[in-house]
């Protein structure tokens, strides 16, 4: 596998919204009245409350390094240790091992989103959670040797069970197009400090991260880069000008909101989650959109 192929190496090196897409999605034009829960990822580990309130949970995430925070709930009969081993194997150099690990990850947990961020970014995510046991997992994309840091949390009732997202500035849809994932974006202008509703209407796990790109980057040029990486070749040039920031993976059928605060400019919005059927990141097969944040 090329050094740029795996998610960690790659990142270190570097349509229309329809009613059918959002059927059953909670309302989005509601004032954000619940205080965000502070989460910090640093050299000491992962700092967050052990008890959270059900309903619309908003996490405000900070980190001292490029990393990700995952919010997951184990499915019945699944092992946390096995899930964590498989999570690391999704970056395996062996494509068959990678595909098998991705299949097991999708079967092991419900993923409620989370934050992909750098030391310079603060990301807020909102997700609808019900009572029960969850885990917050700090997963370091920049360090192949780093083991995930885990904190068990319990979601309990807290009076009014608000199940609506805060107001949003746009919507990001993951949709299925045959065997591939596509990303549609609704809302203009796209604000550099906007809040976006992300709806995973595809058949599998997906994320929504923003990566700055060089001015003038085209979809054709970007696809040429992805095709080169997928075939194990070094691309003639790399258009990426920074690290990813945005929403960590969502299970299919789930929605979450993500609040970003990034410099204005050109970006690619993509899902770099590995497709269990191909062993390649979904972005390589078209799960991306070039856009401008203003």
Provide, rounded to the nearest whole percent, the portion of the chain with pLDDT above 90. Answer: 78
| Number of domains composing the chain | 1
- What is the reported pLDDT for 5? 43
Domain membership of residue 159 (yes or no) is yes
The answer to whether 101 and 36 have CB atoms below 8 angstroms apart is no
What average pLDDT is seen over the chain? Answer: 88
Neighbouring CB atoms inside 10 A of 130's CB total 12
Catalogue the E-assigned strands of 91-162.
Answer: 109-117, 123-129, 132-139, 149-156
- What is the reported pLDDT for 162? 66
- Taking the C-alpha atoms of residue 117 and residue 244, their distance in angstroms, rounded to an integer, is 7
Which of 16-30, 106-120, 176-190, 223-237 is least confident?
16-30
What does residue 163 show for φ and ψ, rounded to 5 degrees? -120, 35
DSSP H helices, 13-127, are 80-89, 95-108
- Tell the residue number behind the tokens 């001292």, with chain if given: 64
pLDDT in tens, 202-250: 999 999 999 999 999 999 999 999 999 999 999 988 999 999 999 999 9
pLDDT category, 16, cuts 50, 70, 90?
Answer: very low
Residue 9 has pLDDT above 50, yes or no: no
The answer to whether 62 and 53 have CB atoms below 8 angstroms apart is no
Q: Please, what is the Cα angle at 71 between 3 and 100, to 5 degrees? A: 45
Q: Please, what is the Cα angle at 94 between 248 and 89, to 5 degrees? A: 40
Residue 158 has pLDDT above 70, yes or no: no
Residue 26 has pLDDT above 50, yes or no: no
- Taking the C-alpha atoms of residue 67 and residue 82, their distance in angstroms, rounded to an integer, is 21
- Taking the C-alpha atoms of residue 209 and residue 247, their distance in angstroms, rounded to an integer, is 6
24: exposed, middle or buried (Cβ count in 10 Å: 0-12, 13-18, 19+): exposed
Q: Is 175 helix (H, G, I), strand (E, B) or coil?
A: strand
- What is the reported pLDDT for 285? 96
Domain membership of residue 13 (yes or no) is yes
- What is the reported pLDDT for 165? 86
- Taking the C-alpha atoms of residue 69 and residue 230, their distance in angstroms, rounded to an integer, is 27
* Overall average pLDDT of the 195-201 stretch: 97
What does residue 39 show for φ and ψ, rounded to 5 degrees? -130, 130
- What is the reported pLDDT for 246? 98
pLDDT in tens, 57-73: 999 999 999 999 999 99
Domain membership of residue 217 (yes or no) is yes
Q: Please, what is the Cα angle at 127 between 192 and 90, to 5 degrees? A: 85
- What is the reported pLDDT for 263? 97
pLDDT in tens, 235-246: 988 999 999 999
Domain membership of residue 24 (yes or no) is yes
- Residue 228 gets which letter from DSSP? H
Residue 48 has pLDDT above 60, yes or no: yes
- What is the reported pLDDT for 4? 41
Structure token pair of residue 151: 């904190």
**In the chain, how long is the greatest CA-to-CA distance?**
57
Neighbouring CB atoms inside 10 A of 284's CB total 24
Residues spanned by the domain of 79: 7-293
* Overall average pLDDT of the 270-292 stretch: 97
The answer to whether 122 and 245 have CB atoms below 8 angstroms apart is no
Q: Does the predicted model carry a pTM greater than 0.85? A: yes
Question: What is the four-CA torsion angle of 81, 118, 274, 251, rounded to 10 degrees?
Answer: 70
Residue 261 has pLDDT above 80, yes or no: yes
pLDDT in tens, 69-124: 999 999 999 999 999 999 999 989 999 999 999 999 999 999 999 999 999 999 99
- What is the reported pLDDT for 157? 84
């Amino acid at each position: 596998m090329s050094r740029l192929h795996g998610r960690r190496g790659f990142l270190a090196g570097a349509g229309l919204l329809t009613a059918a897409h959002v059927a059953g999605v909670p309302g989005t034009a509601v004032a954000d009245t619940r205080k965000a829960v502070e989460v910090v990822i640093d050299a000491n580990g992962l700092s967050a409350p052990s008890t959270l309130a059900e309903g619309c949970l908003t996490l405000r995430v900070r980190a001292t390094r490029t990393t990700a925070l995952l919010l997951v709930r184990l499915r019945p009969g699944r092992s946390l240790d096995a899930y964590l081993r498989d999570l690391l194997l999704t970056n395996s150099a062996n494509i068959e091992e990678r595909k098998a690990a991705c299949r097991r990850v999708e079967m092991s947990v419900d993923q409620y989103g989370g934050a992909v961020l750098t030391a310079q970014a603060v990301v807020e995510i909102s997700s609808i959670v019900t009572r029960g046991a969850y885990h917050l997992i700090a997963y370091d994309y920049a360090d192949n040797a780093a083991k995930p840091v885990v904190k068990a949390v319990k979601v309990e009732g807290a009076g009014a069970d608000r199940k609506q997202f805060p107001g949003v500035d746009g919507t990001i849809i993951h949709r299925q197009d045959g065997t591939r994932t596509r990303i549609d974006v609704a809302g203009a202008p796209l604000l550099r400090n906007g809040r976006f509703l992300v709806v995973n209407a595809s058949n599998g796990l997906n994320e929504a991260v923003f990566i700055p790109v060089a001015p003038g980057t085209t979809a054709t040029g970007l696809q040429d880069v992805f095709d080169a990486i997928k075939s194990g070749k070094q691309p003639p040039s790399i258009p990426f000008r920074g690290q990813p920031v945005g929403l960590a993976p969502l299970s299919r059928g789930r929605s979450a909101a993500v609040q970003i605060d990034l410099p204005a400019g050109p970006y690619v919005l993509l899902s770099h989650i590995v497709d269990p059927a191909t062993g390649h990141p979904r972005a390589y097969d078209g799960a991306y959109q070039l856009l401008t944040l203003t």
